Each structure stands twice: as structure tokens, then as C-alpha cells.
Amino acid sequence: MKFYVASSFKNIDKVRYVSEQLKNKGYIHTYDWTKNKRASTFKELKQIGQKEKNAVIESDFIVILLPAGKSSHIELGIALGLNKKVILYSPNDQRKDFAKSSTFYHLSEVLKFTGTLDELVNFLTVKEKD
């Protein structure tokens, strides 16, 4: 199974943790954006954007770790448009905070998960075996 994890730079350690745990269980990471520095030119933005788009397309499922950044929401939209499995993770159920929520968080095809990162990894590995 191939996966992609989207989030914001402030969650970089959490993204790396989830990705490493999934890779240790035999899952294939389509792109590790956490290795990038923040883009400082439009050319870099374009290159990163293409890699992230391709990673979503290649994935069997994507995980969105909240709080998420601008690009994460675009990746969420791409995944939904391609009928990919989407798992929305929030340690504190941020999606229920109206001021921070997005309309797309509430779609029935978006699986929601609240808990620890280890519980999330367990959920993902059990869910994807179904």
C-alpha cells in the first residue's frame, strides 16, 4: 500500500513519525516533503507542488494531520477528486472547532480519527488491511 501524509511545517516531527511507523510496517511513502526547506522562489514552489501532486495521485490513501497548511487542503481536494481514501487526524478533534474547520472535513468519505499518533498508525494499518 502506498501512502502520503499531508500537514503543516509545524507538524513536521509528527509527519515523520507516522511515515516512519508506516514504512516500518511495509507501506510505501510516495513522497517525503519534510526533507524540503521552505520554498523561497516560485520555481521551488512549482517543483514541490508537482512532487506533492504526483505523490497524492500515486497514493492508495492519504493522511491529513491537523492543524494542516494551505497545501494540505489542496492535497485533500486532489485526493477527494480522485476518490482516494482520506484519513483526517486531529489529536484534539479540531474539526469540531467551527472557526478552524473546513467543509471538506465533514464529508462522509473522509474518515476522521482522534487519538494518539500510535493509535492512528494502528488504525491505519488495520483499516488498510480490510
Quickly state the pLDDT bin for 50 (edges 50, 70, 90): very high
Task: For residue 73, give the C-alpha cell.
Answer: 487542503
Cβ proximity of 36 and 51 under 8 Å: no
- Give this prediction's pTM: 0.91
pLDDT at 46 over 60: yes
Domain 2-129: CATH class, spelled out: alpha beta
State percent of the chain over pLDDT 70.
92
* pLDDT one-digit tens code per residue, 106-121: 889 999 999 999 999 9
Residue 105 CA to residue 122 CA, distance in Å, equals 21
Residue 81 CA to residue 29 CA, distance in Å, equals 20
Cα-based angle 85, 28, 42 (whole degrees, multiple of 5): 80
* pLDDT one-digit tens code per residue, 62-117: 999 999 988 999 999 999 999 999 999 998 876 676 566 687 878 899 999 999 99
Query: What's the whole-number mean pLDDT along residues 29-44?
Result: 91
